[in-house]
């Protein structure tokens, strides 16, 4: 006995402490207005309905502490504006409301307006409403829509405003109104009320959503969307249970109590009707006509419902910009594919595609151009896929392809190559030509993972790695890449420390006059001497530093250190007449900071402005605003040289090239690596050389690795070059040793 008591006491204690240990629930205030069966909010009773069932489902899983705020719909809209409630249930989507509130992406249900009339009122079609009293619910989109529709049909009526749909029917039953507008979901439950009849007026198809205040944290709606999408995707889910419960239930009590009497009268009528056959025939004809009309109405209702459902699916599973399946649509297809492949020996590849530099295009040319570009990219990608490959867009610049029925992994490689090739030609956006490329990560089923989530994660990881390697390439997933993702997360912190702890160093790569083989300048290239990992190349951290803005102090350090070193060499008589090229990121222009940084670096080091050359990538043209243009003019005015780096890989507008104060352009190594090669490839270089001559720009060829490339460039009038053939980037003291000597081809 004592033991039982002791156990009971311990259990009580445990449950008590568990209750205390439970995490705080998130308070969520939900506005409810009576709009049965989406929401039934009778005074004194907890709200019910389809929208409430879904909220409960989500609340349980998300740890929400829901408080319901009942009010009229009109008042709730005001409360939502003020942020007095966090969510409003059962609100129809309209463009005007979308300006005021944030809507769930998923709709709860498709709905439209219907008109009921009093059984004795001769109203069947829209023109019959003219001059009649029509009960309308305040604040409902259907109310406004019916007023507008009736005005268009020259049938203005007298609105009788009430607060709920039940009151609409009540007003008709009590003959305070001849007719009234309700939504079809409500209508489905009340079609049998005595004294009421349904008219053929059907209007204003809308979608019922949840809404939150415009500037609210999107987390609530995101959670709702996520759960609603999953619920809708499964016909056995609680969502469909709720629909069946609220839409299909037709309780007996709804049948009017005169029904048995009517049945008896009907039987009597039947006997009588046998005697008056002619009258009956007439009646049958009339009934048949009526039946036909009702059937037609039902048919059109079914069609509308199907259309609404289709539209709903379109919204839920497809991306509106490209028309491709979205993340949800993709999830369903991949889950099905994996389920059917289980136990078989089939393989599948997932290709995660990320468009390179889309952000720069959006920032520079505007989101309209970014959208057009994405549409073109979607078409190009689709055009090189087989019919049973599945392309979807995850939003932003991310696309995913499911390549099924692959044999060897080289099949996936082939698809990835075709996808990259499809983006090689420039895309015309209005009068502008934009060059795009993409980074692709590939994960294989079942080799790398067997679940949707892991496959996606691995393909994404491989994609990041491809991007870090400079983009425009594909990469298969390897387990070590996962470690790198974790690394990237801590990269920002570690880079900041690197700057403070003096772990950054500059290497210098000679720039050579091709004719004389003399060193005429040197490019400062940043390295990070990480105590754990050794020398880290800029490709591994510059993009991350640009994303976080750390590139600004980093760039200032490079300017200071580079100018100081160059001036030092000059003082030692080793670098007379030589220029120092420093790479600057477009982010350094923000707030005209670059001009100040350059002024400071020059004055601190004592280096003459003519000895400094700033290398700016072509993408600067994409953000060519007054700030950038003025900065370039001021810098040139100071005597600093400007050169356009990686020419040919990004976006170049020839008109800008003419207008902007650049001294030189650097042909990207991707072009140099192809020469002498095929005729088309060499022609690109000769065209760039001719173009540069036309604009009176000097040309520096990057990445010269072979004597053939060197000779070709020199023979075609390229004055300067840089590359492993002459010298790799070197630490300062190693370079100092060779300064002043001509660099012979082949001594790299």
- Angle (CA) 465-471-472 rounded to 5° is 130
Tell me the closest approach of the beta carbon of residue 660 to ligand C2E, in angstroms: 18
Q: Which residues in 266-305 contact ligand C2E (CB under 6 A)?
A: none
CA distance 469 to 542: 11
- Start-end of H helices in 384-451: 409-422
Closer residue to ligand C2E, CB minimum distance, 551 or 640? 551
CA distance 696 to 690: 10
Helices and strands (H and E) in the chain: how many: 26, 26
CA distance 35 to 711: 81
- Taking each helix axis from N to C terminus, what angle separates 593-605 and 626-638, rounded to the nearest 10 degrees? 20
Of 532, 549, 438, 446, residue with least CA distance to 494: 532
Q: What is the CA radius of gyration of the chain?
A: 36
Backbone angles phi, psi at 441, to 5 degrees: -110, 140
Closer residue to ligand C2E, CB minimum distance, 90 or 723? 723
Tell me the closest approach of the beta carbon of residue 92 to Mg ion, in angstroms: 55
Q: Which does 539 bind (CB under 5 to 8 A by kind): ligand C2E, Mg ion, none?
A: ligand C2E
Q: Which of these segments, 156-164, 301-309, 442-450, 696-704, binds ligand C2E (CB under 6 A)?
A: 696-704
Q: Is residue 168 a contact partner of residue 136, using CB atoms and an 8 Å limit?
A: yes
Tell me the closest approach of the beta carbon of residue 601 to ligand C2E, in angstroms: 12
Closer residue to ligand C2E, CB minimum distance, 310 or 747? 747
Tell me the closest approach of the beta carbon of residue 557 to ligand C2E, in angstroms: 9
Q: Which does 555 bind (CB under 5 to 8 A by kind): ligand C2E, Mg ion, none?
A: ligand C2E
Tell me the closest approach of the beta carbon of residue 466 to ligand C2E, in angstroms: 16
Of 209, 202, 197, 216, residue with least CA distance to 299: 202
Backbone angles phi, psi at 588, to 5 degrees: -70, -15
Q: Which of these segments, 287-295, 337-345, 583-591, 736-744, binds ligand C2E (CB under 6 A)?
A: 583-591
How many Cβ atoms are within 10 Å of 153's Cβ, its own excluded? 13
Closer residue to ligand C2E, CB minimum distance, 110 or 723? 723
Prior bond of 676 cis (ω within 30°): yes
CA distance 480 to 144: 60
Q: Which residues in 464-523 contact ligand C2E (CB under 6 A)?
A: 509
Prior bond of 102 cis (ω within 30°): no
- Taking CB under 6 A as the criterion, the residue among 443, 558, 563, 700 binding ligand C2E is 558
- Taking CB under 6 A as the criterion, the residue among 723, 732, 735, 743 binding ligand C2E is 723
What residues contact 245, with CB distance under 8 A and at least 6 apart?
A: 53
Q: Count the residues of the shown chain that bind ligand C2E, applying the rule CB under 6 A.
A: 25
Q: Is residue 113 a contact partner of residue 182, using CB atoms and an 8 Å limit?
A: yes
646 binds ligand C2E (CB under 6 A): yes
397 binds ligand C2E (CB under 6 A): no
Q: Which of these segments, 85-93, 185-193, 300-308, 700-708, binds ligand C2E (CB under 6 A)?
A: 700-708
CA distance 559 to 556: 5
Q: Which does 159 bind (CB under 5 to 8 A by kind): Mg ion, ligand C2E, none?
A: none
Closer residue to ligand C2E, CB minimum distance, 31 or 703? 703
Of 88, 67, 60, 57, residue with least CA distance to 228: 57
Q: Is residue 720 a contact partner of residue 513, using CB atoms and an 8 Å limit?
A: yes
**Three-state secondary-structure class, residue 386:** coil
Closer residue to Mg ion, CB minimum distance, 389 or 645? 645
Tell me the closest approach of the beta carbon of residue 677 to ligand C2E, in angstroms: 16
Tell me the closest approach of the beta carbon of residue 645 to Mg ion, in angstroms: 4
- Taking CB under 6 A as the criterion, the residue among 89, 579, 583, 605 binding ligand C2E is 583
Closer residue to ligand C2E, CB minimum distance, 104 or 722? 722
143 binds ligand C2E (CB under 6 A): no
CA distance 405 to 71: 57
Q: Which residues in 587-616 contact ligand C2E (CB under 6 A)?
A: 615
Closer residue to Mg ion, CB minimum distance, 188 or 520? 520
Q: How many residues does the chain have?
A: 748
Q: Which residues in 516-555 contact ligand C2E (CB under 6 A)?
A: 525-526, 537-539, 542, 551, 555
585 binds ligand C2E (CB under 6 A): yes
Q: Which of these segments, 96-104, 514-522, 620-628, 718-726, binds ligand C2E (CB under 6 A)?
A: 718-726
Closer residue to ligand C2E, CB minimum distance, 143 or 583? 583
What residues contact 280, with CB distance under 8 A and at least 6 apart?
A: 273, 274
Q: Which residues bind Mg ion (CB under 5 A)?
A: 583, 615, 645-646, 702
Closer residue to ligand C2E, CB minimum distance, 322 or 722? 722
Residues at the site binding ligand C2E, with contacts judged by CB under 6 A: 509, 525-526, 537-539, 542, 551, 555, 558, 583-585, 615, 645-646, 669, 702-705, 722-724, 729
């Amino acid at each position: 006995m004592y033991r039982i008591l002791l156990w009971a006491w311990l259990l009580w204690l445990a449950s008590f402490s568990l209750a205390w240990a439970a995490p705080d629930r998130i308070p969520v205030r939900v506005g409810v207005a009576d709009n049965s069966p989406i929401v039934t909010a009778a005074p004194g009773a907890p709200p019910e309905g389809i929208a409430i069932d879904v909220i409960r489902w989500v609340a349980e899983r998300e740890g929400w502490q829901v408080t319901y705020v009942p009010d009229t719909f009109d008042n709730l809209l005001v409360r939502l504006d003020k942020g007095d409630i966090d969510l409003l249930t059962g609100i129809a989507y309209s463009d005007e409301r979308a300006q005021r509130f944030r809507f769930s992406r998923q709709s709860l249900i498709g709905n439209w307006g219907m008109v009921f009339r009093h059984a004795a009122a001769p109203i069947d079609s829209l023109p019959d409403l003219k001059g009649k009293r029509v009960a309308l619910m305040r604040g409902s989109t259907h109310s406004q829509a019916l007023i507008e529709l009736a005005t268009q049909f020259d049938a203005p009526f007298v609105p009788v405003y009430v607060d709920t749909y039940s009151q609409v029917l009540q007003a008709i039953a009590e003959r305070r109104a001849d007719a009234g507008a309700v939504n079809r979901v409500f209508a489905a439950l009340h079609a049998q009320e005595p004294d009421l009849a349904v008219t053929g007026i059907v209007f204003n198809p809308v979608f019922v959503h949840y809404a939150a205040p415009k500037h609210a944290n999107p987390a609530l709606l995101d959670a709702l969307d996520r759960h609603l999408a999953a619920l809708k995707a499964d016909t056995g889910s609680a969502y469909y249970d709720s629909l069946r419960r609220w839409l299909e239930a037709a309780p007996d009590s709804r049948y009017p109590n005169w029904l048995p009497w009517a049945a008896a009268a009907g039987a009597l009528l039947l006997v009588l009707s046998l005697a008056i056959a002619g009258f009956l025939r007439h009646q049958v004809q009339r009934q048949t006509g009526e039946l036909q009309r009702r059937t037609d109405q039902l048919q059109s209702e079914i069609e509308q419902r199907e259309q609404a459902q289709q539209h709903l699916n379109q919204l839920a599973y497809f991306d509106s910009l490209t028309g491709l399946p979205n993340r949800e649509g993709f999830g369903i297809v991949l889950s099905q594919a994996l389920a059917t492949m289980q136990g078989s020996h089939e393989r599948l590849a997932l290709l995660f595609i990320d468009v390179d530099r889309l952000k720069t295009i959006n920032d520079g040319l505007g989101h309209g151009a970014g959208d057009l570009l994405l549409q073109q990219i979607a078409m190009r990608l689709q055009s090189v896929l087989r019919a049973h490959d599945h392309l979807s867009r995850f939003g932003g610049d991310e696309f995913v392809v499911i390549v099924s029925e692959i044999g060897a992994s080289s099949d996936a490689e082939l698809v990835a190559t075709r996808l990259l090739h499809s983006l090689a030609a420039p895309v015309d956006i209005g009068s502008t030509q934009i060059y795009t490329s993409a980074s692709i990560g590939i994960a294989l089923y079942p080799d790398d993972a067997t679940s949707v989530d892991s496959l996606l994660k691995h393909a994404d990881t491989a994609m990041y790695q491809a991007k870090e390697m400079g983009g425009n390439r594909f990469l298969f997933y390897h387990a070590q890449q996962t470690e790198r993702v974790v690394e990237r997360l801590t990269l920002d912190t570690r880079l900041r420390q690197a700057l403070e702890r003096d772990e950054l160093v500059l290497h210098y790569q000679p720039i050579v006059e091709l004719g004389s083989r003399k060193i005429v300048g040197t490019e400062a290239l940043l390295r990070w001497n990480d105590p754990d990992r050794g020398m880290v190349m800029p490709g591994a951290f510059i993009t991350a530093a640009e994303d976080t803005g750390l590139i600004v102090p980093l760039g200032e350090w490079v300017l200071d250190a580079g100018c100081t070193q160059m001036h030092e060499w000059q003082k030692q008589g080793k670098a007379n007449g030589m220029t120092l090229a420093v790479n600057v990121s477009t982010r350094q222009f923000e707030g005209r900071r670059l001009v100040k940084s350059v002024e400071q670096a020059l004055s601190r080091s004592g280096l003459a402005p003519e000895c400094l050359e700033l290398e700016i990538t072509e993408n600067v043209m994409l953000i060519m605003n007054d700030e950038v243009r003025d900065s370039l003019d001021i810098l040139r005015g100071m005597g600093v040289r400007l050169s356009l780096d990686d020419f040919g890989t990004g976006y170049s507008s020839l008109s800008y090239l003419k207008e902007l104060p650049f001294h030189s352009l650097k042909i990207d190594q991707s072009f140099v690596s192809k020469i002498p090669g095929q005729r088309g490839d060499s022609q690109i270089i000769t065209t760039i050389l001719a173009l540069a001559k036309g604009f009176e720009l000097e040309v520096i060829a990057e990445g010269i690795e072979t004597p053939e490339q060197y000779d070709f460039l020199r023979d075609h009038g390229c004055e300067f070059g840089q590359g492993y053939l002459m010298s790799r980037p070197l630490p300062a003291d190693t370079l100092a040793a060779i300064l002043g000597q001509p660099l012979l081809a082949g001594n790299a």
